[in-house]
Amino acid sequence: MEELVTYERNEHGFGVIQLNRPNKRNAISLHMINLLKGHLQTAKRDQIKFLVLTATSDEAFCAGGDLNELHAELTRDEAFSLLYPMKEVLYELVSFPIPTICLLNGNSFGGGCELATACDFRYAKEHTVHGFIQTKLGILPSWGGGTILYEKVAPVFAYHWLITGNNLDSDTLQQNGWLQKVILSDEWGNLSEMLRSFIDKSDGQLKMLKEQYLKKMPILSLSAEMSMEVRNAVKLWDSPEHKAAVQAFIK
């Protein structure tokens, strides 16, 4: 049986974490959260230049959390205990000591956008769409990704995207700074070319540039703000709006 999340050190000296649950559009299960935690710790100990996060299948990078496990019938306390570990994964990513790049091989929705936002940079395949759709499910971003979003793009853009819950195309997201690059489909997959600008830099350059970047991020207060976002999300977890939206989504 294949692992749902894998990690390997590439021959070019960078690490690759890959979501591998294509039949479920790489939706994050509780088991996958534990695997992500473990692989991030391994990558942190490994001698790599930078870290890549991507996924299998062309259909989706990540469809968010697995609604079979994160269903709307959970109590607030149950929801918090299941959501908080993924908040910790996102914080590990956002504070990672070397550059992190999310390669969005397909569409991302909800928690998938939160996971991508926690990386330093996002490269997407052309014609993909991405959406913080949580408000359309009657809740808020539930892993702290909304808090991180405000640090990555203009606050008014983040605010509007979170309220509307719209899916936006890759070109629009590049124009607004969420994506750093949109890659043509026939150029996708050749990691050595897609990431040449990173591969050509020394380990020392990349590490020092990341240290400089982290000094501009409110890292010390970010974890607490992310935790508050999770707590706010679970206040809405047992609401009629969330229950109805999840049932409609599943159907």
Please write the tens of the pLDDT for every residue from 78-122. Answer: 999 999 999 999 999 999 999 999 999 999 999 999 999 999 999
**What separation in angstroms does the CA of 201 have from each of 12, 113, 175, 197, 206?**
11, 28, 26, 7, 7
pLDDT at 58: 78
Per-residue pLDDT reduced to its tens digit, 141-180 = 999 999 999 999 999 999 999 999 999 999 999 999 999 9
What domains can you pick out in the chain, each with its CATH number?
A: 5-199 (3.90.226.10)
C-beta of residue 82 within 8 angstroms of C-beta of residue 47: no
pLDDT at 154: 98
% of residues, the chain, pLDDT over 70:
100
DSSP 28: B
Report the C-alpha gap between 80 and 225 in whole angstroms. Answer: 15
pTM of the model: 0.97
Amino acid at 210: K
